[in-house]
Amino acid sequence: MQVERVFSFQDELKSDKIEVRIPEIVNPQYGMFTWPAAPVLAQFIWYNRDQIKGKQVVEIGAGTALPGLVASLCGATVILTDKEEYPQCLDNCRKSCLANGQDAIQVVSITWGQFTPNLLNLPKADIILGSDCFYDTKDFDDILATVSFLMEKNFQAKFWSTYQERSSSHSIEDLLKKWELKAIQIPLEDFNANHGNIGGSNLSDLHTIQMLEITHQ
């Protein structure tokens, strides 16, 4: 069943506001609906919108692409990516762009850890986004391989990533060292995301979501 969710982000004075329409399909693959980590990352982008304006942004594992769309609506040049083997998900990503008049956003298939022409041909990214990509430990090394490759093109690039804590054994610390990356955790209260209604999303289990900024060591 196809549905549409609407998220809205505004500043405290309500003078600056955006609305994002996200087409979702209830109940199929992982990337066809918006996970709770996505509004948190979107809120971080909205909060830092002055920083993102005019920047080149690449979102990995974008799914319905709420963070990438917020970045685009805030003036970034955005490329959305998701797994090559999930064409339905990539199509839904394109629908998200059209639903928000963001037709200029490129949607490209990139599977984590695979050094395909699509990855090699990406432009130099300033900001890499990833919402709820760290959910299956078998993928963690591949995700960081892709991120590390993008950062080799731009040592100053930042990987902004939210994840949902599902198990205490899901640590990326050793892999960060392997790929010569470092992470700082950003408290949700620093960007007004410590409440359950970010962007009108009615998140029920917000306390399990963490925000990381990963950079080159």
Interface ranges with ligand SAM (CB under 6 A): 30-31, 34-35, 37-38, 61-64, 82-83, 86, 89, 111-112, 131-133, 135, 139
Smallest gap from residue 135 Cβ to ligand SAM (A):
5
Instruction: CB nearer to ligand SAM: give 35 or 151.
Output: 35
Instruction: CB nearer to ligand SAM: give 64 or 102.
Output: 64
Beta-sheet pairing, 181-185 with 209-216: antiparallel
Instruction: CB nearer to ligand SAM: give 50 or 85.
Output: 85
Smallest gap from residue 145 Cβ to ligand SAM (A):
11
Smallest gap from residue 114 Cβ to ligand SAM (A):
8
Instruction: CB nearer to ligand SAM: give 28 or 51.
Output: 28
Smallest gap from residue 89 Cβ to ligand SAM (A):
5
Contacts of 132-137 with CB under 8 Å at 24 or more apart are 132/35, 132/36, 132/37, 132/38, 132/61, 132/63, 132/162, 132/163, 132/164, 133/60, 133/61, 133/161, 133/163, 134/161, 134/163, 134/170, 134/172, 135/163, 135/164, 135/166, 137/169, 137/170
Rounded Cα–Cα distance for residues 39 and 195 (Å): 11
Q: Are 185 and 214 in contact (CB under 8 A)?
A: no
Instruction: CB nearer to ligand SAM: give 16 or 197.
Output: 197
Q: What is the DSSP letter of 35?
A: -
Name the token pair of 63. Answer: 């799914």
Residue, CB closest to ligand SAM = 31
Smallest gap from residue 13 Cβ to ligand SAM (A):
29
